Amino acid sequence: MGGDSEHEDSSGRCELCGGAKDGTRCLACDPEKPLSELVADALAYVRGQIESGKRHGADLSRAEDKLTGAQFLFDAGSFEDAQKLVSEAGEAAGDILIQYRALVSAMMRSVKKIREAQEAGVDTTEADRYLELADDARHRTEYKLGITYAVKSGESAEEKKKPKDQSSGGWQSSL
């Protein structure tokens, strides 16, 4: 097998396992190992990523399906094909986890903003509705849509908290 460049892409992640690289070398891959061992390591790494995400509540079934296919190909001795599919599984898991974490974070910020608005005596019905939509999207695994709703929820709570004269145009509106 050649040098480390076989396992690199421009994203700073290893193409084989999806793991982080230390400079130009993947921390999980060893170029001296046979492909079968590299793929086995990548399968274990991505499996761990998926299990960790599932424990936090993310739906990683799409990544799991790819990982199952990679394991099937690995078991059949088709290591190059398994390598490609485990890489796709790692990318899918990473993308889903980023979206899921962003959604959960946006929902937590929104809850805080709603609570602050309620403490200020503001009606948060609209913000609450958006937050419910965000949570529904989370349960349907539509994480990007959920982020949009969570952000709108927080914005709505903040907007309702602003004094009315801030949005009226100030002294110019009386002309």
Sequence-distant (6+) residues with CB within 8 A of 153 are 107, 110, 113, 114, 127, 128, 129, 130, 131, 133, 134
Share in percent of the chain as helix, strand, coil (round to 5):
70, 5, 25
Task: Pick the more confident residue, 147 or 166.
Answer: 147
Q: Does some domain include residue 55?
A: yes
Tens digits of residue pLDDT in 64-122: 999 999 999 999 999 999 999 999 999 999 999 999 999 999 999 999 999 999 999 99
Question: What's the distance, Cα to Cα, between the start and end of the chain in Å?
Answer: 78
Structural domain count of the chain: 1
The whole-model pTM stands at 0.70
AA letter at 56: H
Q: Does some domain include residue 168?
A: no
Q: Does some domain include residue 175?
A: no
pLDDT band at 16 (very low <50, low <70, confident <90, very high): low
Q: Does some domain include residue 117?
A: yes
Sequence-distant (6+) residues with CB within 8 A of 74 are 36, 39, 40, 43, 82, 86
Contact 90, 49 (CB under 8 A): yes
Q: Does some domain include residue 87?
A: yes
**What is the distance, to the nearest Å, from the Cα of residue 15 to the centroid of all Cα atoms in its chain?**
18
Angle made by CA atoms 130, 131, 134, in degrees to the nearest 5? 90
Q: Does some domain include residue 167?
A: no
Q: Does some domain include residue 22?
A: yes
Q: Give the CA distances from residue 35 to residues 71, 80, 124, in Å, rounded to whole numbers and listed in that order.
A: 14, 8, 57
Task: Pick the more confident residue, 25 or 167.
Answer: 25
Tokens of 93: 């898991």
Whole domain around residue 10: which residue ranges? 4-162
Q: Does some domain include residue 71?
A: yes
Identify the pLDDT of residue 76. Answer: 96
